[in-house]
Chain A
Amino acid sequence: MLQTPSANNPQIMLHVQALSKQVSLPEHTLTLLDQVSFTLVAGETLAITGASGSGKSTLLGLLAGLDSPSSGSVQLAGTDLNLLNEDGRAKLRRQQVGFVFQSFQLLPALSALENVMLPLELMGAPNAKAKAEEILAQVGLRERLTHYPRQLSGGEQQRVAIARAFVSTPKVLFADEPTGNLDTKTGQQIADLLFALNETAGTTLVLVTHEQKLASRCQRILNLDAGRVVNS
């Protein structure tokens, strides 16, 4: 049995230790993220804020195992991501993680219902259709099941994305500027929906945003500047 700090404490959902990311450029090495460490327990909500280019998205990518760090480690739901290969990380995401993106990232060839069914289908979960219909009803899209992304407004697309993220009842939800592509009013509605669902499901939420108002709805805020944590 592999022992990790967070594995000893099931309450620890995300344990980040001295996480750094550098990229080599022809003339010098650029540090995108420098020695970031923090811990999140189950159900906690965290906003990662900072100016454009401060390393927010890089950090999110590393936390979700979409990218590999240059040094340091991330333990997600008790598993050290460094010990997993690409497919192992995908499996972990399939079981534990949900995603909401700024640009929605719905598959254009699939209808709203099919997009939401996708994670369940990949898990081989039973009753995928019924579960997807139910959660789409919860986000207010009961009438739009068969619509394709291009037939939906931005707000509606983000609702589908939120439904897709929650349908597999993830333990951690990563949201990258979820209101960034929406007008203020729609953004507000989407944020309300996100936090409401999160609260109901008790999911750990990691939210990247540059909007202070949205960030302030989280229990904790991690402010980044040039890849360093300046205020936590």
Chain B
Amino acid sequence: MTRADQNSSSSLSFEQSLRLSWRWFLRDFRSGGVRVLFAAIALAVCAVSAVSFLSDRAQRAMALQANQLLGGDALVKADAPIGPAQRALAGQLQQAEVLSFNSMLRAGSTLKLADIKAISQGFPLRGAYQLVDANGKISMQAGAWPKPGQLWLSGAGAQALSVKIGDKIALGALEFEIGALIVQEPDAALSYFNVAPRAIIRLDDLAKTQLIQEGSRVVYRLVVAGAANQVAAFSAQVQPTLKRGQQLETVQDARPELRQALARANQFLGLSALVAVVLAAVAAAMAARRHTARHIDGCAVMRAIGASSQNILQIYLGQLFWVGLFAAIVGVVSAFALQALAASLLAKALQLDIPAASALPALEGFAVGFVVLMSFAAPPVLALKNAAPLRVLRKDLPSPQISAWLALVLGLAGLAGLIVMKAGSVELGLTILAGLAATLFALALLAFALIAGVHALRGRLRGRLRGPLRYGLANISRRASASAVQTTALGLGLMVIMLLTLVRSDLLYRWQAELPDNAPNRFVIGLQAEQTEPFSAAFQTAGLAKPTLFPMIQARFVQQNDQAITQTSFAEQSERAQRLAERNFNVSYMAELPADNEIVAGKFWANNTQSAEFSVEVELAKSLGWNLGDTLAFDVAGQRLEAKITSLREVDWGNFQPNFFVIASPSAARELPQSFMTSLHLPSEKFALTNELVQQMPNISVIDVDAILAQVRRTSAQAAAAISWVFYFTLAAGVLVLIGAMRATQDERLREAAIMRVLGASTTQLRLAQLSEFTAQGVIAGGTAAIAANVLSGVIAEQILGISWRVDPMLMLVGTRAGVLAVVATGLITLRSAVTLAPAQSLRALEG
């Protein structure tokens, strides 16, 4: 026999190893050996897929909700009738048409300029009008359409015209009957500057009013809705056909504050899912380590009776494969059930349809399960192939370890893969990974320092501590490395939970703060200079705060430096730039920077400046190619407004305050033709005040933004509810890490407790020892986690969510208490057998 022959070890055939590993899986599952690992991976997959299922559905629901603001999924807006060629592009999509224009409504002798909308049947394609009927009953019916000769009128309109349902009201040549009052329009958020009152009629009644003549200023809208791919196809096809005066709007073009809410919600949901993934991976790695530790002796026996290292790998990796496969199936199925339940509750709470989930999250769940299995569970198991057969004779031999580098590389690669996959970008993924690594390092350092603290404290209190207490504390410092690892893991779980609580409450707080109860619910525009005094006085008389008035100058952009602006100046730039440049700018002037604005380049002018300066919103400046130092000129009713750009600003568009793209220094614009505008919060009992003001000053327009606010509030509430569910899944993953960390030392504790029992320790003494150890560990883990969570939440709040960070001084207390509670509860439950089992039983169980 050659040496090569002798050394060749028979490897099991694929079928043999599959069969053997299957039996190993069944045997180990029956005996409870792989149940923890199974549960860890199932929970990992469940958490990931449930989060993904739910985010997927929540995001679809939010997109749908946002689409309601358009009345459909996309629309073409035009200043002339939309031709058949463009209509034909809509193909199989649902279509509706809306014509809107301003005209006078007459009720008796009262005349009001109104925003009129003539709608075809089926509009809105997304959402529905909320109407109040003659009996005062509010209803929301999809597909509702005014009856022929009937008109729906906004509440503010009815108030301004002093009419009620059933009254007659004239529009052009036709007299309508008021059929219902509009409580909420799904597409009301298209613009703040919809002039009240608003009226809705049937499209086929429009001709009879004889209002639309040649040259009438009418906005035509073709609204479409349907499957996402068809809408996208329509958008792509219609885009190149757009003529001057036409534009395509999708949900992306809807209100900026809604877009912000959606973007933040997406980021937060993604972040939460990511956290669940990392926690699950940690839990799986812990479970796999324990699985390995329990099988080393068995593998040594197998090696002694002739198994090759390849046989061991085939059997145990095969076993992992079965664990992974079934755990992933269980995970995905339970995730589907959980999200279905969550979605139905969410749908009920928010009274809306949540679209069905796609199959993608299930695939993602399997992929994540596989990566977690291979990167986190497999490395410890690989060590089994190195189990020394001599262990059958000498139990004191050290346990085989796989190369720390290999584990690190595999774990990091897996983690990086998962993070990049979830974060959606390599840069963000790597940043998060680096952040996580730094956090782990800091957590470990802190944990070591605190454990050393416990050791020192124990030394100082020597003799004053009672037995079980001393034993419990000794356990921590005696196993300093193990305790540090465990505390770091516990700390990571706790930190993530705290971090999520913090960021979540920050986020919700921020949304609430963005939409406070006293958010402006009325905008007033068109106020003339001589009316500002009586206008403000009326508020003071009514016992309300004097409103802040902003000057508003209608200006047309005519020159940049030496370059005159023509129709083609921006033709080569984006369509947005062209649109922005063509429209009239509402320029304001003020001495001080508005509160929610932030200078990002240059310097805002001094309070008393005499020079002509502009401060411009940074994104607009980018779009139009405006730079600091450029001189811009605008035409204001034949007069020239010219100044140099001296600062660029970031503007918070979500604050419901009047915001301006271009602000001039007072000296540059004070003398130009101007009107004033303001935003106010009117308590409901004072709604009549604006009516009186409109009677006195017929030229002003009062815009009711209650409907817009309600819409944004609903969307925010929906996002918040979705986040709560995601949060609970992540919480469950955190608890799993706690259990994993506890189980890691379960055998050792069982043995110690059994020995203490044999030496005469009572149940109370054992419990007290456990309690003191877990409490100390909880304090360390909770305290470490609180510090890390506070710092990290700052980074996330500032860098990712773009909101300001507030240090939470209560967190140390709350965090530590949560840490103690979590560790003590998990510890006592997980390790209860250490106290309840008879010593002989424990020892026998450990010996097998």
Contact = CB atoms under 8 A, between A and B. Distances in A.
Nearest to B4: A88
Interface residues of A, number: 47
Contact of B6 (A92, A107, A164): A92
A87 B308 contact: yes
A67 B388 CA distance: 9
Given A94-B307, A108-B31, A122-B311, A149 B848 contact: yes
B528 interface: no
Interface in B302-340: 302-311
A99 B1 contact: no
A122 B21 CA distance: 12
B1 A66 contact: no
Contacts of B20: 121
B10 A110 contact: no
Interface in B281-301: 297-298, 301
Nearest to A101: B392
Contacts of A106: 301, 848
Interface in B1-46: 1-3, 6-10, 12-13, 16, 20, 23, 27-28, 31, 33
Interface string A76-116: 00010001111110111111011101010111111100100
B393 interface: yes
A166 to B, nearest CB: 12
Q: Which of B12, B305, B309 has the most CB of A within 10 A?
A: B305
Which size bracket describes the interface of B in this complex?
35 or more
B308 A57 contact: no
B137 interface: no
A91 B301 CA distance: 14
Contacts of A57: 393-394
B799 to A, nearest CB: 49
Contact of B31 (A93, A105, A148): A148
A107 B306 contact: no
Nearest to A122: B307
Contacts of B31: 108-109, 148
Nearest to A60: B393
Contacts of B33: 109
Nearest to B386: A86
A109 B305 contact: no
B545 interface: no
Interface string B157-186: 000000000000000000000000000000
Contacts of B311: 122
Contacts of A110: 27
A43 B516 CA distance: 94
B389 interface: yes
Contacts of B449: none
B393 A164 contact: no
Contacts, number: 124
Contacts of B2: 1-2
Contacts of A65: 389
B303 to A, nearest CB: 6
Contacts of B462: none
A123 interface: yes
Contact of B27 (A84, A103, A114, A122): A114
A79 B310 CA distance: 22
B13 to A, nearest CB: 8
Interface in A35-73: 57, 60-61, 64-67
A60 B844 CA distance: 27
B845 interface: yes
Contacts of A90: 9, 303, 306-309, 389
A86 B298 contact: no
B390 interface: yes
A124 interface: yes
B7 A84 contact: yes
B1 A164 contact: no
A2 B307 contact: no
A65 B393 CA distance: 12
Given A2-B2, A87-B310, A88-B9, A105 B845 contact: no
A100 to B, nearest CB: 11
Nearest to A148: B31
A108 B845 CA distance: 9
Contacts of A111: 27
A118 interface: yes
B306 A83 contact: no
A117 to B, nearest CB: 9
A105 B301 contact: yes
B306 A123 contact: yes
Contact of A94 (B297, B305, B388, B845): B305
Contacts of B27: 109-111, 114
B9 A66 contact: no
A34 interface: no
A84 B2 CA distance: 11
Q: Which of A79, A91, A111 has the most CB of B within 10 A?
A: A91
A105 B392 contact: yes
A147 interface: no
A133 interface: no
A150 B305 contact: no
Contacts of A85: 7
A144 to B, nearest CB: 16
A75 to B, nearest CB: 12
A93 B308 CA distance: 10
Nearest to B10: A91
A1 B303 CA distance: 27
B298 A108 contact: yes
A119 interface: yes
A176 interface: yes
Contacts of B301: 105-107
Contacts of B302: 107, 118, 122
A149 B1 CA distance: 39
30 contacts: A1-B2, A61-B390, A66-B389, A83-B6, A86-B303, A87-B309, A87-B310, A90-B303, A90-B306, A90-B309, A91-B308, A92-B306, A93-B304, A93-B306, A94-B306, A97-B306, A99-B392, A108-B31, A108-B847, A109-B298, A118-B302, A118-B305, A119-B305, A122-B12, A122-B307, A123-B306, A124-B13, A124-B16, A150-B845, A150-B847
Given A88-B7, A92-B306, 11 more contacts: A64-B304, A79-B1, A84-B7, A87-B9, A88-B8, A94-B306, A97-B305, A99-B392, A109-B27, A109-B31, A124-B13
The 7 closest A-B CB pairs, nearest first, are A94-B306, A108-B848, A88-B7, A87-B9, A87-B308, A109-B31, A93-B306
